Structure 1
Amino acid sequence: MSSPIKVAVLDDYQGISEPKFRALDPAKFEVSFFKDTLRPYNHPDTPQEVKDELVARLEPFTVISTMRERTPFTAELIARLPNLKLLLTTGNRNRGLDLDAFQARGIPVAGAVDRNSSVGSESTTEHCVAMILAAARNIAQDDLSVKTGGWQTVPAVALGGKVFGTVGLGRLGTAVGRIMHLAFGMRVVAWSENLTQERADEKAREAGLPVEDARGEKTFKVVSKEELFRTADVVSLQLVLSDRSRGCITAKDLELMKPTAIFVNTSRGPLVVEKDLLEVLEQGKIRAAALDVFDLEPLPLDSRWRTTKWGEDGRSRVLLTPHMGYVEEATLNGWYDMQVENLLRWEKGEELLLRLC
């Protein structure tokens, strides 16, 4: 009788995958779970011993299940995993995977979607709106104050009639802009490198909004990058991370913002030059930042994001969440259901669902 196939499930912080993978026939599959994420192999601050630790963890496994980009798989890491025969990921794309390297090794990569839901990007949209409101209303600070014996902290700021600036007007930028416009009467301005007013008008129509209001002002007004950062009361990043967009937001942009403005990033940390954002916030140049994503995730315990006393001694207020934009129970359940189905298909030699390479 052959030995069971060794399967590693990485980075499932909530344990949603466990009952699904544990239901597999133990005579065929030996499953191990690793909830702690080791520092990315390709991060410049990752020492060689941590790279070796990651390889030692993964090397025994024939099949690896990964969650989004939490553990990137570079060509160098893939080359050090001789036993790997199948990579299961979540979503329909994963920019943390070197698909060319997988293909060169003949290792199939399969994505996963939630077939029982059409939610799509709604989870991230809801999280982004929640963070904007929480930053404007001081929810985290006031909650902490009440729980530690205090009372009110600083006044909240109104959003009604203010300017919402979206950097990027794709699905998420359109969805968040639509909500802020309809719910709070915010005027929406938008910028991205190739965005035209014609395309923004199309996005407004697709969202069920008029192209112009009664005064002839555009519902989604395309402006320059400089004007967006200079005039917006809330700046929200809604770009896809790519070689072109990496580090596209710098001190030059952030220092244009109003002292009362709120900066929000629920897309990807590396879109912003992190040291520039930290400096602006430590100097208290804007009211607040609300961040769900970071350069290095999970944040190290000694990260300045964790250790700085935000909102004190003239510093800006900072609201942090641990990359929760897509972490919705139904979605994760659907993803792991498809991963298990793909694992069984692969073991039987059947065609994989949502094969990426």
Structure 2
Amino acid sequence: MKETIVVVHELYPELLDSLKQSFDIVHFTRLANDDDRARFREAMSHAVAFIGSNVPFDRALIEQSPKLKVVASVSVGVDNYDVETLKAHDIVLTNTPEVLTEATADTGFLLLMMAARRAGEMNRMVVNGDWKASLGRDQFGVDLKGKTLGIVGMGRIGQAVAKRGHFGFDMPILFQNRSAKPDVEQSLDARQVELEVLFREADFICVTVPLSAETEGLVGRELLSLTKPQAIFVNIARGKVVREQELIECLQDGTLYYAGLDVFEKEPLPADSPLRTLDNVACLPHIGSATHETRNAMCDLAAENLLNVIAGKAAVTPV
């Protein structure tokens, strides 16, 4: 009798077919309703492995999954998982670092450029038929070249965003990180500063920190009020790193010039969110790693982790 693997993800077809040859696969594209969630919990009660993303693994779910050996997350962030409870039950948690670095950094820089040139606004103007004449000065954007780029969290993704700015647009780099990064300071001619200094001096600010107890609610009015008159703030980390209501208020009252967001406190973005109607924000539907090549590579790494653990081998990228 085949062992059961539960999948909550759009694994690409060839990988899913490959897993089906050796395992009984219970597959959900997503957990869309109460019926899906009930069937998911029932499947987890006899599953040896889980592969997927966007599923909270709390103590109750873990304790109701007695056969579970591995949780192979198709993501870098692990804020959905009760890591200590998984560890206490000898369940291996893995993630997919590195393979999504470049795609996510591209998204960050896309938002920097969209916000700088007010691309969302300009697109709506064309689509809605409001482009009647040449642009006036009140519709101009700002340049990137030579402006100061501040990176909050100089990990892999932060460094990749900084490289795009430094080498592509001659942007001086400031960064804040919990540990020293002398190699980054040297290779990018970057300067490590306190968070308040970064928000005060940078023209563009990009947040790339993981969500944790220390970073939840890290950015709010106190920091945003320090920014320059035409500063642009971008978040490609997690929505809860930012106090969203305070961000909205700062955009509404002019404290912050413009924002670019790929992540939100609640996803999908609620229908009544003011972010849907503000002109001075560019919003994307959490597309950070959403390219065919990157998502396939993430799935491959997650599957390799899963198969290794089931076979009694070491995971490639354990958390």
Q: TM-score per shorter chain, which class?
A: 0.7 to 0.9
Identity of aligned residues (%): 29
Paired position in structure 2 for 1:131: 111
Structure 1: distance between partners of 2:155 and 2:305: 30
Map of 1:246 onto structure 2: 216
Name the SS of the counterpart of 2:43 in structure 1: coil
Match of residue 277, structure 1, among 220, 225, 247: 247
Summarize the Cα distance change of 1:84–1:297 in structure 2 as closer, same or farther, 3 Å threshold. Answer: farther
Written as runs of structure 1 = structure 2, the 5 A alignment for 1:314-329 is: 317-329=280-292
Per-residue deviation at 1:229? Answer: 1.7
Residue in structure 1 matched with residue 164 of structure 2 by the alignment = 179
Instruction: Give the superposition deviation at 1:126.
Output: 1.5
Q: Which residue of 2 aligns with 1:265?
A: 235
Per-residue deviation at 1:341?
Answer: 4.8
SS of aligned partner of 1:327: coil
Find the partner of 2:295 among 332, 339, 342.
332
Partners of 2:99 and 2:297 within 8 A in 1 = no
Closer/same/farther in 2, CA of residues 194 and 21 from structure 1, 3 Å limit: closer
Distance 1:298 1:37, change over 3 A: farther
- Structure 1 runs not aligned, ≥5 long: 39-49, 210-218, 312-316
Residue 72 of structure 1: aligned partner:
56
Q: Are the counterparts in 2 of residues 108 and 356 from structure 1 also a CA contact under 8 Å?
A: yes
1:55 and 1:80 in contact (8 A); partners too: no
Compute the displacement of 1:136 (Å).
0.7
Structure 1's 327 and 59: CA in aligned 2 closer, same or farther, altered over 3 A?
same
CA RMSD of aligned residues (A): 3.1
1:191 aligned to 172, 176, 199, which one? 176
Distance 2:305 2:177 in 1: 37
Inter-CA distance 346–170: structure 2 relative to 1 (3 Å threshold): closer
Q: Taking structure 1 as the reference length, what is the TM-score of the superposition?
A: 0.75
CA–CA distance in 2 between the matches of 1:228 and 1:130? 21
Check 1:232–1:344 CA distance in 2 against 1; reply closer, same or farther (3 A cut).
closer
Distance 2:199 2:228 in 1: 8
Counterparts of 2:284 and 2:266 in 1: how far apart (Å)?
A: 14
* Offset from partner CA, 1:273-317 (integer Å, 9 cap, x none): 2221111112232221001112233333444434xx212xxxxx1
- Taking the aligned partners of 2:306 and 2:176, their CA distance within structure 1 comes to 42
The one-character-per-residue Cα deviations of 1:128-160 (angstroms, maximum 9, x if unpaired) are 111101111122222222223232662121122
Distance 2:224 2:114 in 1: 21
SS in 1 for 2:205: strand
Distance (whole Å) between structure 1 residues aligned to residue 178 and residue 93 of structure 2: 32
Equivalent residue pairs, number? 311
SS in structure 2 at match of 1:87:
strand
Q: 1:77 to 1:168 in 2, by over 3 A?
A: same
Instruction: Quote the Cα distance in structure 2 between the aligned partners of 1:126 and 1:79.
Output: 39
